[in-house]
Amino acid sequence: MDVVKAFGAVAFIGLLAACQTPQEKAADAQAAAAKAQQDIAKKRLDLIAKYQSCVQNAGSDQQKVAACDSYLKAAQALN
């Protein structure tokens, strides 16, 4: 019987330790959302840099410049 009580107490303490308050859950969600926004902004900047490099390398060749538009459109889609 003592073993059952001890196990029950340990299980109860474990459950209390594992539970988060709504404020902690909200803070975690907000941190995750901020990280996602940061990742999107970084990807957008990377695509814009690729677009600018592509346009510079294309020079006056309009077909190559048109091919570079895929980078710009992808960056715009991330807005």
Whether 64 contacts 58, CB under 8 Å: yes
User: What pLDDT, on the 0 to 100 scale, is given for residue 17?
Assistant: 63
Q: How far apart are CA 29 and CA 22, in angstroms?
A: 10
User: What pLDDT, on the 0 to 100 scale, is given for residue 16?
Assistant: 63
Tell me how crowded residue 46 is: count the other CB atoms within 10 A of its CB. 13
For tokens 């901020």, name the residue: 34
For the stretch 52-69, pLDDT in tens is: 999 999 998 999 899 999
Six-digit token string for 31: 């941190």
Domain locations along the chain:
24-79
The structure's pTM equals 0.66
Q: Which one has a higher pLDDT value, 78 or 4?
A: 78
For the stretch 22-47, pLDDT in tens is: 888 888 889 999 999 999 999 999 99
Burial class (CB in 10 A: 0-12, 13-18, 19+), 44: middle
